[in-house]
Amino acid sequence: MTSITRRRFMVTASAIGAIGLTAGMALAEAPPLAKKDSYKVGFAQTESNNPWRIAQTQSMHDEAKKLGHQLVYTDAAGSAAKQVADVNSMIAQGVDLIFLAPREEKPLIPAVMAAKKAGIPVILLDRNVDQALAKAGEDYVTFIGSDFIDEGKRVAEWLIKNANGKTKIIELEGTTGSSPANDRKKGFDEAINAAGGFTILASQSGDFARDKGRQVAEALLQAHPDADVIYAHNDEMAMGAIAALEAIGKQPGKDVIVLSIDGGKEAVQAVVDGKINAVVECNPRFGPKAFETMMRYAGGEKIDAWVKNEDKFYDPSNAAAELANAY
Ligand code: GYE
């Protein structure tokens, strides 16, 4: 580099830096977190209508308390618009960092960007945002959560091995536009289609909710009375499907194979009782990993784009033994 080009390079670099800082424009990196003994931290929850969410919230509260951090908690009550408003209110309150469980992949992008612009780092918990619109390490720090594609695939693999001639599937999808619904469908459908011999008769959203799941299962069972497998993207909808089956005199787990994801106590008990055939766990106890990741970030460590949770698998071979450990 000649001295002229070097000088020009330095001028350009500092000009970009100045613009970036004053205008809050596209910074190359997620906002830093200053080192402190205790933090005021936001946790923007999506809803509290199931044991999974309640266990996650409890775990966040417990860990914050244990470590002496203040937790500013909001519950979006199932509305992405409210969740965006919740994040904006956390920004206004000047929290140090925001843990965000984005209800859907696209609608929460403005919240992530608003926090970034305000210089507040965001850690995504349990659900992800659209990867074409926001990036780990740039727009938010990292995504902590399970491999949802693999969860769906593990359900499919169990079915392929244990179907015993049952091949006609009803799929109950999670919240439309959420990363676990998208990915649990992708992982399952791809593996099932690759195996051959199975038919997905219908696939419809039950919004990860018990009663919605029951209603959708009821309607789909009526339209497809020959269905002999129900794959639900979470336990709540699986429990709803069990109620729908019992209401028409079918035995869940026997006449119709029931498969689920989450692995809460009620579902693991249903495996023991023979009403659910297999469940892939999705661990909701995020507190320790969330705060540990935050502290590593404050310490200047480079955080991977994805901090992965490992999930167990429950079927009749281990459900009774694992029941006590299920949330
Ligand atoms: O499976 C479901 C919850 O985002 C992984 O959301 C989570 C899912 C979980 O409401 O029960």
pLDDT in tens, 49-91: 999 999 999 999 999 999 999 999 999 999 999 999 999 999 9
- The residue behind tokens 């001295």 is 3
Nearest CA to ligand 1 atom 10: 208
119 contacts: CB under 8 Å, gap ≥ 6: 24, 31
Nearest CA to ligand 1 atom 5: 126
- The residue behind tokens 């199931």 is 50
H-assigned helices in 31-71: 51-67
Span from the CA of 294 to the centroid of ligand 1 (angstroms): 22
Confidence (pLDDT) at 24: 45
Residues in the chain: 327
Burial pattern 161-188, b for ≥16 Cβ within 10 A else e, equals eebeebbbbbbbbbbebbbbbbbbbebb
Sequence ranges of the domains in the chain: 40-145+284-309, 148-282
Ligand 1 pocket check for 282: Cβ under 6 Å: yes
| 40-145+284-309 topology per CATH | Rossmann fold (3.40.50)
Burial group, residue 285, by CB count within 10 angstroms (0-12, 13-18, 19+): middle
261 contacts: CB under 8 Å, gap ≥ 6: 151, 152, 155, 180, 184, 232, 233, 234, 235, 279, 280, 281, 282
Residue 19 has pLDDT above 90, yes or no: no
Confidence (pLDDT) at 27: 58
Ligand 1 pocket check for 127: Cβ under 6 Å: yes
Residue 166 has pLDDT above 90, yes or no: yes
Ligand 1 pocket check for 126: Cβ under 6 Å: yes
- What global pTM score does this model have? 0.90
Ligand 1 pocket check for 253: Cβ under 6 Å: no
Ligand 1 pocket check for 50: Cβ under 6 Å: yes
Span from the CA of 114 to the centroid of ligand 1 (angstroms): 25
Distance CA 104, CA 208 (A): 12
Residue 150, φ and ψ in degrees, nearest 5: -65, -35
Question: What number does the ligand 1 atom closest to the CA of 236 have?
Answer: 11
Span from the CA of 82 to the centroid of ligand 1 (angstroms): 18
Confidence (pLDDT) at 134: 97
pLDDT digits (tens, 9 = 90+) for 86-124: 999 999 999 999 999 999 999 999 999 999 999 999 999
Ligand 1 pocket check for 234: Cβ under 6 Å: yes
Ligand 1 pocket check for 252: Cβ under 6 Å: no
One fold for 40-145+284-309 and 148-282: yes
**Torsion sign (Cα): 49, 55, 57, 58:** positive
Instruction: Please state which architecture CATH assigns to domain 148-282.
Output: 3-Layer(aba) Sandwich (3.40)
Distance CA 225, CA 248 (A): 10
Please spell the DSSP secondary structure of 139-167, one letter per residue: TBSEEEE--HHHHHHHHHHHHHHH-TT--
